[in-house]
Amino acid sequence: MRLTKFGHACVRLEKDDSALVIDPGSFSEESALDGARAVLITHEHFDHVDADRLRRAAGANPSLEIWTNEGVAAALADVPAKIQVVWHGDTFDTAGFGVRVVGEWHAPNHPDMPIVRNVGFLVDEEVFYPGDAFTPPGVEVPTLLVPTNAPWMKASEMVEYLRQVRPARAFSTHDGLLNDIGLRLIDMWLETESDKQKADMRRLKPGESVTLP
């Protein structure tokens, strides 16, 4: 499986000439959706979902499948794609990938903002993307896409999550709000934790890819 990081919170997974994209929001490159057969969306915030982009992608590929929670599905009702609502505990196959749904709620954010639905995705029992939450996956996770910066989190929570999950690999996501100074800080934290856990923990630059076992 090939994993490619796109801007902020978006990743693309590819295997056997098939592509699946997770959270192609407004801060990511639209090219992430080129040729994708399926899209997974964790929650409704604009940095994770862009209806106009999905509408264009579905226009180019009428068989595009979108898997998400009911709130996002309602907001995408006019997107001409096959939209499927999923819940915590569901499993499904799409674009040649096996997916398990883990989690229900976004982490608490601003006190005046309602907590929205947030579903995480475990893909092929290899890659876990929790969305905007530190949801315990409940199973061994070889590759974790770990949020590293957001209004709803502290650095200590990120480190505690890495120590709880103990993945063999962890790559930064949700880092699009940072300038170069903040990104260097993330790099330092991940390098320090990588050394402690004897694991591969680091930040991929937008457009950078890794091949997973």
Q: What is the pLDDT of residues 64-98, one digit of tens each?
A: 999 999 999 999 999 999 999 999 999 999 999 99
**Spatial separation of the C-alpha atoms in residues 191 and 179, rounded to whole Å:** 18
Query: Which pLDDT tens digit goes with each residue over 3-62?
Result: 999 999 999 999 999 999 999 999 999 999 999 999 999 999 999 999 999 999 999 999
**Spatial separation of the C-alpha atoms in residues 133 and 120, rounded to whole Å:** 8
**154, amino acid identity:** K
**Spatial separation of the C-alpha atoms in residues 168 and 94, rounded to whole Å:** 25
Q: How far is CA 204 from CA 57, 77, 83, 186, in A?
A: 25, 33, 30, 11
- Identify the H or E element spanning 164: helix 155-165
Write down the pTM of the prediction: 0.97
Structure tokens at 44: 């409704």
